[in-house]
Chains A and B, each alone.
Chain A
Amino acid sequence: MGREPWSEPRTRQIVTEHKGLEGPLMPILHACVETFGFVPQEAVPVIANELNLSRAEVHGVVTFYHDFRREPAGKHVLKMCRAEACQSMGCEPLVKRAEDRLGIKCGETSADGRVTLEPIYCLGLCATAPSAMLDGKIVGRLNEAKLDKLLKGAGA
């Protein structure tokens, strides 16, 4: 995920790159997250202006979707699946373990800013459950040892 500092010209450039698409807003917001790591509040009026939409419309879309985070995440993002197939294989005790290790609740970022722990509802790896994803890398058949390794890799 990108860590470029936000800038208005860069935002306008992203919009220009996607403007020719039918329904360009979702691809633009995805590109913002990819570039800046999140959708900064300041980006909303710029996008609205370029697409001839109201700020409220763009804001409404940003807030509707889980993927369009409005705050920067920690250095690493650990997503743990908590849907039914992973539940049947004991994901909940693993989530609890991660929470305890990081000293946070699922959905929060560790105090040192290193790790954001998030729930995800299904990675489609339901026959090799439980599953997790660390910074885009998927992991199946998660167990305590594997989880500890992931956390260690993330510097937690």
Chain B
Amino acid sequence: MTVKIYIPKDAAAIACGADEVAAAFKKTAKKAAVKIDIVRNGSRGMLWLEPLVEVEHNGVRYGFGPVAEDDVQDLVKAGLLGEKGPKGIKHKLAVGPVEDIPFFKKQTRLTFARCGLADPVSLPDYKRLGGYKGLENALKLKPIEIVDVVSKSGLRGRGGAGFPTGIKWKTVHDTPPQQKYIVCNADEGDSGTFADRMIMEGDPFVLIEGMTIAGLAVGATRGYIYLRSEYPHAGMALNAAIQAAKKDGYLGDNVRGSGHTFELQVRMGAGAYVCGEETSLLESLEGKRGLVRAKPPLPAHKGLFGQPTVINNVLSLAAVPYIMEHGAQAYADYGVGRSRGTMPIQLAGNLKHGGLFETAFGITLGELVDDIGGGTLSGKPVKAVQVGGPLGAYFPRGYFDTPFDYEAFAARDGLIGHAGVVVFDETADMMAQARFAFEFCAVESCGKCTPCRIGSTRGVETLDKVRAGERPEANLAVVEDLCNTMKFGSLCALGGFTPYPVMSALTHFPEDFGRPAKKLAAAAE
């Protein structure tokens, strides 16, 4: 008998010791003379359990986590590799059948359907689990028909701005035939986000398939994945998957014998947050400083090397195979209002159950933090939640009824962004958070516009004066003024949105700035 064991290769699992755990299992099994087959899978997304070791028995996968190197012997002694299987094992790390864990069960995993099931870079596994069906369907359609399906699905860009993906593709489709490009924005710079990383490490073929379909739809023969350099593990997975896809004719000059060409390359960023902004990213890909370009022209008309370019976030492109396989309506059936489909939400920070939770739009912030996330890890009350990365607003508990929906967040002066949710407990100092927002903007500004470049530095200085007790009211008025100038005088959202975290901190947590606390009723408005 060979025992099948799954130990994730996801960076979060590795950072918590997955490689050491895998080595310990190998050693212990050898000693016990048990044959084991270790699969290094993607993560199931329940990151508080990582490294999550799964043992398969009669088709069910039983989980144990978080497993440390030192736990392995103990688990084996408890019978983990025994004839009777892992089912009845009583152990403090046993979590039962993994797919029955409420965090997992409550999800609607469309994009992440395969993530964690198998070896991420095995093309046979990808196909066995239903991969490349979307591409097969797309190959039977005319390009404009593919664009149409994506439009009807209601898919909006998952990188932050929420622009309809179908419209973007249509614009590039309509440009005359010439060298066109598909660029995948894998710069994922927002703190609190890791969904791009997880899908690239855990199911890289779904992104490759999505990009190939985009290429067919708009007539682009070349694609680039612009990957942040902080993600070396994702780079390795992508490159291995690209090689495998090439070898089997899924990439190259004759995709699946269709006569269509699609070549794909991974390019590394170099640690500049602003290069996540699409035009800055294109400059960087061209080998220049990542200065933001003025629009128009749109990248769809003049993008990479001046050619028509589709630039989409990882999750936007990775949603496409599902849509092409199951149809536009199947995707659009999920969600609320103008936010259709599912969103892979990332629960992070001071949270008991942090991880990746893919669900239809419409779930409330409170459900995410209190029910799914289980409240803070520290056990102290939640003070603030920042949604949407460093440019996102800080929401108080009073806003926990906000549904996860682009428009609902905007209506409360916030944004979904790339759907990162970072939870802070009552020890958070919101003036320090506001200061950090300015500081981050100052460090990462591309320097093109004055309000962003100078305003952010002035913001840091001014808040330091408030902290020092120097004419606090007058200086807070300066902060508000600066925010206004930045909001309306910046070319891109780095300068333009930094006021969100600053102003939300000031508005919802005035006591941290030395202003009188809000009355409870007002805070809960």
Asked whether B289 lies within 8 Å of A64 as measured between CB atoms, the reply is: yes
In the complex, what's the smallest C-beta–C-beta distance from A47 to chain B, in angstroms? 10
Given contacts A65-B272, A66-B270, is CB(A127)–CB(B15) below 8 Å? no
Asked whether B390 lies within 8 Å of A83 as measured between CB atoms, the reply is: yes
**A123 partner residues in chain B, CB cutoff 8 A:** 11, 15, 230
The yes or no answer to B428 lying at the interface (CB within 8 A) is yes
The docked-state distance in angstroms from the alpha carbon of A24 to that of B268 is 11
Within B164-218, which residues are at the interface with A (CB < 8 Å)? 188-194, 196-197
The residue in A26, A88, A120, A128 that gathers the most chain B C-beta atoms within 10 A of its C-beta is A88
Asked whether B440 lies within 8 Å of A127 as measured between CB atoms, the reply is: no
**A84 partner residues in chain B, CB cutoff 8 A:** 191-192, 349, 386, 389-390, 422, 433, 436
The docked-state distance in angstroms from the alpha carbon of A156 to that of B286 is 40
The yes or no answer to A150 lying at the interface (CB within 8 A) is no
Q: How large is the interface on B (under 10, 10 to 19, 20 to 34, 35 or more residues)?
A: 35 or more
Q: Is the interface of A mostly helix, strand, loop or mixed?
A: loop
The residue in B15, B377, B390 that gathers the most chain A C-beta atoms within 10 A of its C-beta is B15
**B355 partner residues in chain A, CB cutoff 8 A:** 127
**B424 partner residues in chain A, CB cutoff 8 A:** 87-88
The yes or no answer to B425 lying at the interface (CB within 8 A) is yes
- Contact partner, A126, options B16, B194, B222, B269, Cβ 8 Å: B194
**A9 partner residues in chain B, CB cutoff 8 A:** none
In the complex, what's the smallest C-beta–C-beta distance from A69 to chain B, in angstroms? 10
Given contacts A26-B267, A65-B272, A88-B349, is CB(A126)–CB(B193) below 8 Å? yes
**Digit string of A74-96 for contact with B (CB within 8 Å is 1, else 0)?**
00000000011111110000000
**Digit string of B372-412 for contact with A (CB within 8 Å is 1, else 0)?**
00000100000000100110000000000000000000000
Q: Which residue of B lies closest to A61 (CB)?
A: B289
**B305 partner residues in chain A, CB cutoff 8 A:** 22-23
- Contact partner, A127, options B231, B232, B269, B354, Cβ 8 Å: B354
The yes or no answer to A138 lying at the interface (CB within 8 A) is yes
**B289 partner residues in chain A, CB cutoff 8 A:** 60-61, 64
Q: Which residue of A lies closest to B349 (CB)?
A: A88
Q: How large is the interface on A (under 10, 10 to 19, 20 to 34, 35 or more residues)?
A: 35 or more
Given contacts A30-B270, A65-B270, A139-B15, is CB(A88)–CB(B423) below 8 Å? yes
The docked-state distance in angstroms from the alpha carbon of A29 to that of B355 is 35
The yes or no answer to B221 lying at the interface (CB within 8 A) is no
**B433 partner residues in chain A, CB cutoff 8 A:** 84, 87
Q: Which residue of A lies closest to B15 (CB)?
A: A140
In the complex, what's the smallest C-beta–C-beta distance from A126 to chain B, in angstroms? 4
Q: List 26 A-B contacts (CB under 8 A).
A: A23-B305, A27-B268, A64-B289, A64-B290, A65-B290, A83-B192, A84-B349, A84-B390, A85-B348, A85-B349, A87-B436, A88-B422, A121-B189, A121-B191, A121-B444, A125-B11, A125-B12, A126-B193, A126-B348, A126-B422, A127-B347, A127-B348, A127-B351, A128-B16, A129-B349, A136-B232
Q: B-side interface residues toward A, CB under 8 Å?
A: 11-12, 14-16, 47-48, 50, 188-194, 196-197, 222, 229-232, 267-273, 284-290, 305, 346-351, 354-355, 377, 386, 389-390, 420, 422-425, 428, 433, 436, 440, 444
Q: A-side interface residues toward B, CB under 8 Å?
A: 22-27, 29-30, 57, 60-61, 64-68, 83-89, 120-129, 131, 136, 138-141
Supply 11 further A-B pairs (C-beta < 8 A) apart from A26-B270, A61-B288, A88-B350. Answer: A25-B287, A27-B267, A61-B289, A65-B270, A84-B192, A85-B191, A89-B377, A120-B271, A121-B273, A125-B12, A127-B354
Q: Which 9 A-B pairs have the closest CB atoms?
A: A127-B354, A25-B287, A83-B191, A140-B15, A65-B270, A66-B271, A126-B348, A88-B349, A67-B270
